[in-house]
Amino acid sequence: MALLLNTNKVSKSFGASPLFRNVSLTINDGERLGLIGPNGSGKSTLLQILAQRVEPSSGDLVLRSKVRLAFVAQDSEFASGITVREVMRRALKAASIPETEWQARESETLGRCNFKDFDAEAAKLSGGWRKRLSIAEALVQNPEIVLLDEPTNHLDLAGIEWLEKMLQSASFACVIVSHDRYFLENVPTRMAELNKVYPDGILYAPGNYSAFLEFKADFLHAQDKRKSALENRARIETEWLRRGPKARTTKSKARIDSAGELISELADLRSRSQTSSANIDFVSSGQKTKRLVHFDKVTFGFGENPLFKDLDFAITSGMRVGLVGANGSGKTTLLQLLRGEMEPQAGTIERADGLRMVYFDQRRQLNNDVTLRRALAPDSDSVIYRDNVIHVASWAARFLFTNDQLDQPVHKLSGGERARVLIANLMLEPAGLLLLDEPTNDLDIPTLEILEESLLEFEGALVLVTHDRYLLDRVSTVVLGLDESGQPGRYADYSQWAADQAARKQVKPKAASSKGSSTPPAKKKLSFNEAREYDAMEHTIAALEEALHAKRDSVPEVALKDPRSLGALYQGIDAAQDQIDTLYARWAELEAKK
């Protein structure tokens, strides 16, 4: 593979604080590099250095001659009044594409990205469609390298799957900063983690995310062995040094120098080995009522077409509901109905007396003018958590903030840091029902894992809206699916909902093709064998889904005890999911014949 881009010992500092040091990175023709790392490690900054938008403090960046490079920023914002078509044409002009090619290129690219209205105002698109437009803006330039910073943020689940398929078949190379573990499992051909715990500041591994976890486990194991060996040698050398000048007269100066170097190396290894993680733990209000909320034939919409109709659904204590659907399907609206901010057009919503609901808003509204200290503790220099008074500095440390950051204004916080502030505030409010609207955007993988554990241990109920499929599968006990039909459906997990959506898409073209016929074809009846197959299918699917859940639930334990077997486990999960998807497609086929 041809080398397209190379950095040599690149460092970046802000003032006296180094963000990362001596990072060397290569991008080869056609490869897809997944870049992960803790919040604040410098992933977005490194991506901007690669895009030549930020200058490194030291080190070199070499881009092969005439290589075209495109950058998709984390936030997709467009000037007011500019249409989708104008965004594309400005990108074509900036890339010096001949004007004779503009129409064909913009039509082909926008078509690939599923745009229908090229004259829609870009700034008024939803967050997911603005993200698609940013990606289309990059693709239309026919780049050889695309740099994507959190490309799944704001995309709905269908949009993420579209992006996965597009990148898997793309001819260009790409570097993708993402915390979406399923996305990292499906797209990258090589992985890298930017983290100060590694000697070179970055660790590479061939393959996808699960292959990286295996490689990282082996690396950390070897590092632990090296640390133990150094500690033993350092103990011997320290004892020798303590014996005093008489013992050292027969020893060479080289041994004294060697002992000093050994102790310094051990100190460096120990400092790099020290890692920290956010301490997230939501407090249940101890709601005693079993049924918390009941939707009784609820209908709601804007205009003639309802978002959902005749919704009959109960949320009970301990239930964890994953709310899924395309952008605009009504997920956030349903949360607003739950909170009582809106009233249904038809039906009723009954809430248990004294039910305390806590809401995480995806817009992450914080007062940008206050300091982090006041954002965490508005009224004093302490907070009350589980009836204990905790100083704001200690409370901030639970969420990985340093004392130096306490007087920093909120507007200087990263997206992940803002999310941690909001989660810290939520933890101070006892809740019987947690409503979480896209809580995972910008959180790093270690924090996501801690959030998952906290939600699994939370004794109250929760309703979760997220594009993170791994989180949905791990946390949800039931999935409520919203789609264009307006008929909400209840599913065991995200995978079952996705399989049902795929089955419906397969049935739709058949139904559409029969519309043009003057005489509808006679409906085929099920044969005896097909009827037996259909009757047994529900039990078969249920058993397979139970086995699939068990495999998924075992991933964290396997990752800790035997990371080398993760690859085989993920293959088993994929095979089981394929079998279930095939059965759902067959079920839809038989259902159509009944």
Per-residue pLDDT of 540-553, as tens digits, reads: 877 887 787 787 77
Confidence of residue 522 (pLDDT cuts 50, 70, 90): very low
What are the tokens at 563?
């990371």
pLDDT digits (tens, 9 = 90+) for 214-251: 888 888 777 777 667 666 666 666 666 666 655 555 55
- Give the model's pLDDT for residue 515: 46
DSSP state of 428: T
Question: What does the alpha-carbon distance between residue 190 and residue 366 come to, in Å, rounded to a whole number?
Answer: 37
pLDDT over 90 (residue 172): yes
pLDDT over 80 (residue 494): yes
- Give the model's pLDDT for residue 249: 52
- Give the model's pLDDT for residue 223: 73
Domain coordinates of the chain in residue numbers?
A: 3-213, 215-273, 291-491, 497-593
Is 167 or 263 the better-scoring residue by pLDDT? 167
Topology alike, domains 3-213 and 291-491: yes
- Give the model's pLDDT for residue 555: 65
Question: What does the alpha-carbon distance between residue 215 and residue 224 come to, in Å, rounded to a whole number?
Answer: 14
What's the average model confidence in pLDDT over 437-465?
83
Give me the residues paired with residue 63 across strands. 5
What's the average model confidence in pLDDT over 287-314?
83
Range in 23-32, 42-51, 498-507 the model is least confident about: 498-507
Q: Does domain 291-491 have CATH number 3.40.190.10?
A: no
Q: In this structure, what is the dihedral angle of CA atoms 586, 588, 593, 594, given to the nearest 10 degrees?
A: 110
Longest Cα–Cα distance of the chain, Å, equals 109
**Entry pTM:** 0.67
pLDDT over 80 (residue 452): yes
Q: Which residue pairs, CB below 8 angstroms and at least 24 apart, start in 106-115?
A: 106/140, 109/136, 109/139, 109/140, 110/84, 110/136, 112/136, 112/139, 112/166, 113/139, 113/162, 114/162, 115/84
- Give the model's pLDDT for residue 282: 66
Confidence of residue 514 (pLDDT cuts 50, 70, 90): very low
Question: What does the alpha-carbon distance between residue 72 and residue 152 come to, in Å, rounded to a whole number?
Answer: 11
Sign of CA dihedral 255, 257, 262, 263: positive
Range in 32-41, 111-120, 281-290, 580-589 the model is least confident about: 281-290
Confidence of residue 508 (pLDDT cuts 50, 70, 90): low
Q: Does domain 3-213 have CATH number 3.40.640.10?
A: no
Is 425 or 251 the better-scoring residue by pLDDT? 425
Q: Alpha helices of 463-493 — where are they, by DSSP H? A: 469-475
